[in-house]
Chain A
Amino acid sequence: MPAFPTAARAALGDTQLRRNLAHATHTIRDKRAKVVAEVEDWEDLRLAGAGVKEAALRDLATHLETLEASLVRAGATVHWARDAEEACAIVARVAHDHGADEVVKVKSMATAEIGLNEALEAEGIAAWETDLAELIVQLGEDLPSHILVPAIHRNRAEVREIFLRRMAAVGRPAPADLTDEPAVLAGAAREHLREKFLRAKVGVSGANFAVADTGTLVVVESEGNGRMCLTLPDVLVSVVGIEKVVATWSDLDPMLRLLPRSSTGERMNPYTSTWSGVTPGDGPQEVHVVLLDNGRTRALADDVGRQALRCIRCSACLNVCPVYERVGGHAYGSVYPGPIGAILNPLLRGVSDEQTASLPYASSLCGACFEVCPVRIDIPSVLVDQRAAVVDSHRGDRVPKAEAVAMRAAAWAFSDARRLAWAEKASGLGGRVLRRFGRTSLPGGRAAAGRLPGPGAAWTGARDLPAPPEESFRAWWDRTDGGRHEGEGPE
């Protein structure tokens, strides 16, 4: 995966993507604002939600042991997985044990995170995504770009083309007279997938919540594809991040009130399924739960970053983020994009590679993400803390990072008034040069530098830099005596 600035530059050039994204984020944002305003005590509800998750995290070992015991009592088999490889191997083994060469899947961030589909494919097992958006992404051999609406970067004409071109190769073909009406496209997906639901032996899911004291798993969805996967197959495997635990059944209360309103902007999502182990005569008669670490204990050990594990993947922070809105999800190079991705990836994986190290900088620190977060994750603070971690990890480097060079240059200029005046004068000159050569202009017609050479490239690699004005404020003040007379005009 390329680092954020490189990926962002490519995304910024894609006008279709930017239009689709702006439409999506604004629509969901408005819906959310309306249903959140309906709840009088929204702030108290947020506090309660944050409390439930924080309390569960701070005593996680106890709750995990309780969860395991309750699940086993309810007839489930519990597995533990340190990393993606172990988790994928467990799912593959369950499928092999039942002679299954295919599984049907509920949309789940955890299984995307561990690359389960690819791992199963390597074992000769086809994993069918059944969420409409995930199906579009899978058939289009594409990557998801949003937590909630993964195919939001595709428009209806593209979806039609993907269905016509790809469905036949993996099952029931799309009807030849397929139009690009969303209802018709959804109808084609219904027919295509129903065939798979009715014959599937093994279903795979994640979970939105796992209740420790009752051993109950919860899946929240809209389409009913989740219910199909959780109910029709004989065998069910759920991959659950260890941070999904809440202590008690009644702890679901603030969560189920916060999640749908923050996520899809609905009072409640169309379907919520809960189950505790095996129910004789109803649904899967063999139930497996894989408790997944994959970096979560690493994040848990971070005093500032720990709060990121409260995340309930509602995606509200994506929809308000000015950076996400312009570059989309692919630029983050991870299944967790947007503000939460910018902190979660470095926390789970560390900042030793260039890609994760670039993510804490993929933000304007405007604070909108914290305002909307239903579990009050202070994303800006964690970003700043992760930036410090990135800088620390480069302390011993022979060649300093561009960010460090820029910061040192700024410190040198700002520490002395004469130097600053000189630098400003030089930038006025630079402004005139840039205006002449700059190929870009900003909204309002202001000249901009397309791309700076040297260390400045790190900044302009993903941003347009407005050309500095010809005269600095200081020079204007000197010339006009603080605005008291017109002066003679800039040189």
Chain B
Amino acid sequence: MSARDDILRRVRSALDGVSPVTDLPPAPRAPDRGDLVALFAERVEDYRAVVTRCAPDDLAGVVAEALGTARAVVPPGLGLDVAGSVVDDGLSAADLDALDAVVTRAAVGIAETGTIVLDHRPDQGRRAITLVPDLHVCVVDASQVVADVPDALALLDPSRPLTWISGPSATSDIELDRVEGVHGPRTLHVVLVG
């Protein structure tokens, strides 16, 4: 018997006579917290990320300032001119390692947890570009902010790869002292538009 059939047979016999769960207790919703965009900004900052709020017209200037002299890679569909940047056309990991920063948009922002979700469409690019460079400047539109995890799941497409980001990369593995940036970007700069 194949391992597959053997395991499925064992599962069935283990559950022989066990009744299924028919009604699942519903997950409670987070209570109304008022201004979601303000809450989102506050909670992202709690992770020692940088948050800048700006009007749509000021976006290019704010991004340029966040980058300073850093050389950035941008996804092909960013929809924003970033001076001196390289557009990703399938750069190798080594190429990405030679760059300092990345600028992307996002799919969803979650206020309750201070989380940004990328679904890696053309305005956000491949997963690797937001991982290898050390500074991630992420542009989130105020209209993309939702209250909590269930709202985000409802909007996201599970067939796409997703990356949920809550603050910069971090570890507490040595004496529980929190250190930012182990392998992912050490600095996360969120630009909140509108």
Contacts and interface: CB of A to CB of B under 8 A. Distances in A.
A and B interact = yes
Interface stretch (A1-9, A23-31, A321-329, A350-358): A23-31
A297 B11 contact: yes
A44 B113 contact: no
A291 B24 CA distance: 26
A47 B21 CA distance: 13
A59 B164 CA distance: 29
Given A223-B182, A223-B184, A274-B162, A80 B154 contact: no
A214 B158 contact: yes
Interface string B136-179: 00000000000011100110001111111111111111111101
A293 B13 CA distance: 14
Contacts of A23: 175-176
B151 to A, nearest CB: 9
B126 interface: yes
A224 B21 contact: no
Contacts of A303: 18
A480 interface: no
Nearest to A41: B28
A233 B79 CA distance: 29
B163 A268 contact: no
A68 to B, nearest CB: 8
Nearest to A252: B153
A231 B169 contact: no
Interface string A232-264: 100000000010000001101110110010001
Given A81-B3, A190-B182, A282 B127 contact: yes
Contacts of A225: 182-183
A285 interface: no
A55 B154 CA distance: 21
A45 B115 CA distance: 19
A281 B91 CA distance: 11
A101 interface: no
A65 B8 contact: yes
Among B7, B131, B168, the most chain A Cβ lie within 10 Å of the Cβ of B7
Among A82, A216, A267, A293, the most chain B Cβ lie within 10 Å of the Cβ of A267
B131 A267 contact: no
Query: Chain A interface mostly helix, strand, loop or mixed?
Result: helix
A344 interface: no
Nearest to B126: A282
Among A222, A228, A257, A272, the most chain B Cβ lie within 10 Å of the Cβ of A222
A267 B166 contact: yes
Nearest to A261: B113
Given A223-B183, A249-B158, A182 B177 contact: yes
Contact of B169 (A45, A270, A274, A293): A270
Interface string A39-64: 11100110111011011001111001
Among A28, A223, A230, A270, the most chain B Cβ lie within 10 Å of the Cβ of A270
A253 B158 CA distance: 13
Contact of A132 (B18, B24, B26, B174): B174
Contact of B10 (A40, A190, A271, A293): A293
Interface stretch (A193-201, A384-392, A433-441, A450-458): A193-201
Nearest to B3: A80
B20 A59 contact: yes
A309 to B, nearest CB: 10
A193 B120 contact: no
B14 A300 contact: yes
Interface stretch (A151-159, A331-339, A415-423): A151-159
A267 B27 contact: no
Given A61-B11, A222-B171, A268-B166, A257 B149 contact: yes
Contacts of A41: 28
Nearest to B180: A183
B93 A301 contact: no
B94 to A, nearest CB: 6
Contacts of B8: 61, 64-65
Interface of B: 2-4, 6-8, 10-15, 18-21, 24-28, 30-31, 43, 46-47, 90, 93-94, 97, 110, 112-115, 120, 126-128, 131, 148-150, 153-154, 158-177, 179, 181-185
